[in-house]
Amino acid sequence: MRRLLPLAALVLVAPLSLSALDWPVGRTVVTATFGEDRTDHFHNGIDIGGGEQDVQPFLPGELVFRYEENSDYTSLPRGVGSFVVVHHADDIETVYCHLKRGTIDPRRTTYGARDRIGVMGDTGYSEGTHLHFIVRDEQSASYVNPLSLLPAIADAQAPVIRRVALAIGDQVRTLAPGAIVPSGRGTVLAEIYDPRADVKFLWPMAPYGVRLSVDGKEIARVSFDALQVVEGRMVLRGTRLASRDVYAADGMMRCGEVDLRPGTSHLLLTVRDFAGNETSRELPFTVRD
Amino acid sequence: MRRKKPASGFFIAVVVIILYFILFPHPLGRELVARPAWTLSLPAAESLPPGGRSPDSPAEAGRPDALQRPDAFQLGDTFGYVGPSGRLVHVEKTLFRVALSEAGFVNYTRIGSDWVLRDPAGERLFSFAGRGYPMASGDGARVFVVKTDLTGLQEVDRSGEVLWNRDFPSMLTSVSIEGGHLLAGLMDGSLELLDRTGAAVFTHATSGSRIPVILAAAVSSDGSRLACLCGIDPQVLTVLGKKGASFAETSRTLLSAEFRKEVRLLFSPDSRYLVLEGDGAAGLADPGSRELSWTPLGGSLTGVSFLGRARAAALLARGESSWRLTIAAPLSSVLCAASFRATAAFLGSVDGQILLGIDGRLLRVDVEAM
């Protein structure tokens, strides 16, 4: 918790300063959220669409590293395309990825609040013009959910729980109210979406938090606050959950493990997005002998 | 009043010096001779079929170097392999990027997850999949997948299976792979040396700069030395030497440069010298003696090739309006330099000699000491 203090201080101080935290672009359409499934890793930032536009730093800062695709030397392939890393006060670093080729000023080493870092682009491993925006807290060596620092954006739509399933061994069955399931140990899976009015496609965006209770007792809680590496594995901070522990191969979220004992049980799955919209699904079911 | 020394003393001294040079002549350094061996025209990238061209006609196959290992080249948007006597083994248009090595290549698109490693003749070796981009070690013995967001690496075996997966606490900025060693430089200013199983056998956090960051990392081929260019304000070249099972800092040189991007840093194949990209210059260092000398290049360093027999390094630099090839002996002077105009240029090696690519042509230059 102590490691979160610099970030908390930044959030508190920023509104008082002239250079408040700001979205890095003018038109903010969040098309992918922090912690989403990327097959073998978590999405470590947010994606912002809204069309080709100037990218500015979310705070004044100093250039740490830049890479211009097809121009600068690199010893490794870079899926983030042309990108810039900016160092801010309190050991916060922000990364601006997939910038349009040729729009990074090679002479600039400091950025004011309104200075242009580059133009939103489509370089690297990208399937459309967008900005992949990363916030790192160097003191805790964590990737932080940018939505926890950026000014709130309007979002009145609650997350959608499209399907809840139970995996027992290799068997995956949809869990409907009144379902009868065998006893044993099972994993609760859920297909979750967090739709937004300004995003015209249904993409399984990670919600901010997922809570699973069985018979009134909370058995699992996942919160997409921050990511950090523990023993060579990127995990949700404060847990040992890597992306493959949180997401099944088909992209469904593993919400928690339950002991299925004979009798009737009551499952409650609650999903919350970053704006505080919440959706719950209650599922009574019977476990047979 | 002091007596004036007679002028004859001066003449005697001059005669003695002349006699010394006649009787004990000091041998002059050997002359370096650069001799063009062959040139080769490459087909235009647009004319190449998908999968490239391997013009290995029976006549070509019968050439003396048909059985010798070809060397890789990458010039503009084409790449391929050429034999020591100028036999073009394979040439192909680069799709997005190519993971190029002595033993084979992966030519890949910008978006994709299934790749094929092909040998220098373009024949399929094995396929593998992942999310990110493929990368091969210089000798082609090891194949990796770099995660799209630069937070992790995977190594795959010849059946395409993932051998290991490692996530890093910060973004990768620089990677150096030599033999069984992989040195990863990170955005947070730390280094991780991984063994063949992907386990970190040594980690090092650089310090002393206002902003820590690794701008270049290099491991020597014998695994005895590590080097990094790190930090902003000040920027530092740090060399670490093997000490027991670990490494200890053996030298730390403050640099006047202020890079904020990855730069070139590599050890010579014999692990003795280190070449470092500077601002319009190349630094040639001897980590053993802790000496560092700078060779002006008139542009940014774009290629380095070590000439074993001549004990020299060839350096290719791109200036504002021209390219410059410089041959320098480590910790000594520039042996020779030549400038030329070109749109694209490449410096590599073939059979231990210089392989120079200039706008659709390859040229082998043999450098020998006479």
Cβ neighbours around B30 below 10 Å, total:
10
- The alpha carbon dihedral of B119, B122, B125, B130 has a sign of positive
Q: Comparing C-alpha atoms, which of B301, B299, B305 is closest to residue B322?
A: B299
What is the average per-residue pLDDT within B250-255? 95
**Which pLDDT tens digit goes with each residue over B255-307?**
998 999 999 999 999 999 999 999 999 999 999 888 999 999 999 999 999 98
The pLDDT assigned to A12 comes to: 46
**Any idea which residue has 């699992």 for tokens?**
A220
Which has more confidence, B310 or A187? Answer: A187
Q: Going by C-beta distance under 8 Å and a sequence separation of 6 or more, which residues neighbour residue A196?
A: A30, A155, A157, A205
A–B interface: beta-carbon pairs under 8 A? 122
- Tokens 């200890």 locate to B248
* Residue A96, CA atoms < 13 Å, CB-side half-sphere: 33
Q: What is the pLDDT of residue B30?
A: 61
The whole-chain average pLDDT of chain A stands at 89
The encoded tokens of residue B254 equal 């403050």
Mean pLDDT estimate for chain B: 90
pTM of the model: 0.90
Decide if B165 and A40 are in contact by the 8 Å CB cutoff: yes
pLDDT of B339 above 70: yes
User: Is B167 within 8 Å of A87 when comparing Cβ atoms?
Assistant: no
CB-based burial of residue A135 (10 Å sphere; 0-12 exposed, 13-18 middle, 19+ buried)? buried
The structure tokens 């005669």 sit at: B15
Interface ipTM: 0.90
Predicted confidence band at B115 (pLDDT cuts at 50, 70, 90)? very high
B260 contacts in A (CB within 8 Å)? 63-66, 109
Cα–Cα distance measured from residue A245 to residue A212, given in angstroms and rounded to the nearest whole number? 15
Of A23, A19, A25, the residue nearest A150 (C-alpha)? A23
Q: Which residues of A touch B95 (CB under 8 A)?
A: none
Give the CATH number of domain A7-148; options: 2.40.50.140, 3.40.50.720, 3.90.1200.10, 2.70.70.10. 2.70.70.10
Picking from B146, B174, B216, the nearest residue to A77 by CB comes out as: B146
Which H or E run contains B273? none
**What percentage of chain B's residues is helix, strand, coil (to nearest 5)?**
5, 55, 40
CA pseudo-torsion sign B13, B18, B19, B21: positive
- Say how far apart CA B39 and CA B363 lie, in whole Å: 4
Which among B165, B216, B232 has the least Cβ separation from residue A64? B232
Contact A76 B175 (CB under 8 A): yes
Average pLDDT over residues B55-67: 55
pLDDT of B81 > 80? The answer is yes
pLDDT confidence band for B49 (50 / 70 / 90): confident
Tell me the pLDDT tens digit for each residue of B165-174. Answer: 999 999 999 9
Q: Where in chain A is the domain with CATH 2.60.40.10?
A: 160-288
- Rounded to an integer, what distance in angstroms lies between the CA atom of residue A217 and that of residue A79? 43
Q: Read off the pLDDT band of A18 (50, 70, 90).
A: very low
Model confidence at A200: pLDDT above 90: no
Instruction: Tell me, yes or no, if A77 comes closer than 8 A to chain B by beta carbon.
Output: yes
The rounded distance, in Å, linking the Cα atoms of A242 and B148 is 17
Residue B193 reports pLDDT greater than 80: yes
**Neighbouring-strand partners of residue A171:** A168
CB contact under 8 A, B167 and A132: no
- Indicate which of B97, B110, B148 best probes the interface with A, i.e. most A CBs within 10 Å of its own CB: B148
- A265/chain B closest Cα distance in angstroms: 39
pLDDT at residue B6, as a whole number:
63
Place of tokens 């033999």: B179
Quote the distance between the C-alpha of residue B165 and its chain's center.
27
Residue % of chain A over a pLDDT of 70: 91
Q: Is the pLDDT of residue B182 over 50?
A: yes
Point out the least confidently predicted range of A17-21, A166-170, A249-253, B200-204.
A17-21
Of B133, B147, B200, the CB nearest to A40: B147
Domain architecture of chain B: domains with CATH: 68-167 (2.40.10.480), 171-298 (2.130.10.10)
3-state SS track over A50-104: CCCCEECCCCCEEEEEEECCCCCCCCCCCCCCEEEEEEEHHHEEEEEEEECCCCC
Q: Is the Cβ of A75 closer than 8 Å to some Cβ of chain B?
A: yes
Answer for the pair B258, B272: CB distance below 8 angstroms, yes or no: no
Q: State residue A206's pLDDT score.
A: 72
Using CB atoms and an 8 Å cut-off, which of residues 112-151 of chain A contact chain B? 124-127, 132, 134, 136, 138, 141
Distances (CA, A) of A135 to A23, A225, A253, B267, B348: 12, 11, 24, 34, 39
Cβ distance B167 to A41 less than 8 Å, yes or no, reads yes
Residue A249 in tokens: 């191969």
- According to CATH, the topology of domain A160-288 is Immunoglobulin-like (2.60.40)
Q: Which of A40, A63, A77 sits opposite B131 (nearest CB)?
A: A40
For residue A82, what pLDDT is reported? Answer: 98
Query: Strand, coil or helix: what is B230?
Result: strand
Burial of A203 (0-12, 13-18, 19+ CB in 10 A): middle
Interacting residues of B285 by C-beta distance below 8 A, sequence separation 6+? B237, B239, B253, B273, B274, B275, B276, B291, B292, B293, B330, B331
Q: With bands split at pLDDT 50, 70 and 90, how would you rate the model's confidence at B354? A: very high
